[in-house]
Amino acid sequence: MRKKRRDNRLNIRLISISFLLVLSVVIIATLFVRRHPPEYYDRTEFLMGTYVTIVVASEEISPVKLAAAGFQEMKRIEDKFAREYGSVTRVINEAPVGDLIAIDDETAYVIRTALSIGAITNGSFDLTIGEVMDLWGFGSSNSERSVPDPEKLAEALKRTGYSSLELVSNDGWFIKKSRELQIDLSGIVKGYAVDAAISLIRALDDSATGYVDAGGDIGIIGPKYGTRPWTIGIRHPRSERADQIFDVVYLFDGAIATSGDYENYFIEDDKHYHHIIDPSTGFPADSGVISATVIANSVMVADAFATAAFVLGKTPGITFLPRNGALAFLIMEDFSVFRSEGFEVYQKK
């Protein structure tokens, strides 16, 4: 009888030890998995006139599915706001002057932001320069680019001005034009599309990390491996190689966008004409800036402010931005650099 009891106690001890060993292995394996950095998935597609790359990692959902969802959202926005076919932009452009044009909440949000930035920058960012962009050939990738006829340009300039657009809230959203004009949302909608893709990815998995890069307009999904900043290069504006870096910044979150005279241009009579139009002259901006980089909370705001900073130049290009939650880094023609106070914080790892 005593022997049987001793055997039972021995069995219980062996079972307990075995259980503890198994539990230890499970805990060690779990800790190893948690400490093992996530594997990033990246995918690149051509959207919105540029190459878009989504880099994402997730422990909850397949990063392949997250990237696919992000691209699908950006494609939806591209189709909605493009000028070439039956989009909301075209509906607004073709509507009669004075009519109340019904728009949805998303369109109202994009246009409201564009109008607000137009006011903040005193018109240096203006969504109503669509006709001017068309005359230069920058309105469509299929257009022939050339210096426009001066008389036609002067007439087109008369049909610009963000203050000629009114956003009306009356049991829904409406927009009204006080004169004939053509809106062009390309300076803001690409950034909005990046923001929307990031919001969707976060909604699917709030622990996902990575970034979305649309031709240099970059929004952060989450810090690298959850704890580290992403290293982002500012392209050298006079290098033919896109991977040659002028300087770097480090971002845990937020957004960064760059406008440069090297991105979209043509040469006529040995003169360089780029696509960043000064709304006050109708000609490519001539502020001495060749690259303007802006850090902000959203890509949409960074994108629009980068355009405005390029047009404005170092004064007041780098002074008005901090008052509006953004910072600028301007590269001038002689490669001198001007930074908003506080930008240097993002240049320290």
pLDDT tens per residue, range 141-178: 667 899 999 999 999 999 999 999 999 998 999 999 99
d(CA 162, CA 303) in angstroms, rounded, equals 17
Mean pLDDT of all residues in 14-43: 58
Task: Tell me: pLDDT of 187 over 70.
Answer: yes
In a domain, 200, yes or no: no
In a domain, 208, yes or no: no
Exposure of 255 in the CB half-sphere (CA atoms within 13 A) = 31
The region of weakest confidence among 9-23, 55-69, 256-270, 312-326 is: 9-23
In a domain, 131, yes or no: yes
What is the structure's pLDDT at 7? 53
Contacts of 55 (CB under 8 A, 6+ apart): 40, 41, 42, 210, 211, 212, 213
In a domain, 309, yes or no: yes
What is the structure's pLDDT at 157? 96
Under 8 Å between Cβ of 57 and 40: yes
Q: Do residues 336 and 253 share a domain?
A: yes
Answer with the one of 146, 168, 183 that is the final residue of a domain: 183
173's tokens: 């959203």
Nearest by Cα to 153 from 170, 134, 139: 134
Total domains, the chain: 3
Under 8 Å between Cβ of 126 and 161: yes
d(CA 193, CA 63) in angstroms, rounded, equals 19
Q: How confident is the model at residue 236 (pLDDT cuts 50, 70, 90)?
A: very high
Q: Do residues 9 and 120 share a domain?
A: no
Q: Kindly report the number of other CB atoms within 10 A of residue 99's CB atom.
A: 12
What is the structure's pLDDT at 253? 98
Mean pLDDT of all residues in 330-342: 96
In a domain, 255, yes or no: yes
In a domain, 315, yes or no: yes
d(CA 58, CA 337) in angstroms, rounded, equals 38
DSSP run (H or E) holding 175: strand 173-177
pTM above 0.95, yes or no: no
211's tokens: 């970034």
Residues in the chain: 349
**What CATH number does the domain containing 249 carry?**
3.10.520.10
Q: Do residues 349 and 237 share a domain?
A: yes
Answer with the one of 183, 198, 217 that is the final residue of a domain: 183
d(CA 19, CA 324) in angstroms, rounded, equals 60
Answer with the one of 126, 161, 183 that is the final residue of a domain: 183
Task: Tell me: pLDDT of 140 over 90.
Answer: no
Q: Which residue has the tokens 């076919």?
A: 85
Q: Do residues 347 and 233 share a domain?
A: yes
The region of weakest confidence among 2-16, 257-271, 294-308 is: 2-16
DSSP string, 303-336: HHHHHHHHHH-HHHHTTSSGGGT-EEEEEETTS-
**What CATH number does the domain containing 117 carry?**
1.10.3980.10
Percent of the chain residues topping a pLDDT of 90: 80
Mean pLDDT of all residues in 277-294: 97
In a domain, 14, yes or no: yes
Enclosing domain of residue 1: 1-36
Task: Tell me: pLDDT of 8 over 60.
Answer: no
Q: Is 201 exposed, middle or buried (0-12, 13-18, 19+ CB in 10 A)?
A: buried
What is the structure's pLDDT at 20? 46
Q: How confident is the model at residue 26 (pLDDT cuts 50, 70, 90)?
A: very low
Percent of the chain residues topping a pLDDT of 70: 88
Nearest by Cα to 100 from 13, 213, 176: 176
DSSP state of 273: E
Q: Do residues 31 and 106 share a domain?
A: no
Please give the backbone phi and psi of residue 3, each rounded to the nearest 5 degrees, phi first.
-60, -40
SS3 content of the chain, % helix, strand, coil (to 5): 40, 25, 35
Contacts of 16 (CB under 8 A, 6+ apart): none
Peptide bond into 316 cis (omega under 30): yes
In a domain, 15, yes or no: yes
Task: Tell me: pLDDT of 12 over 90.
Answer: no
DSSP state of 217: E
d(CA 119, CA 106) in angstroms, rounded, equals 20
d(CA 327, CA 322) in angstroms, rounded, equals 6
Mean per-residue pLDDT over the chain, rounded: 90
Under 8 Å between Cβ of 238 and 274: no
pLDDT tens per residue, range 35-90: 566 899 999 999 998 999 999 999 999 999 999 999 999 999 999 998 766 589 99
Nearest by Cα to 120 from 305, 298, 341: 305
What is the structure's pLDDT at 141? 64
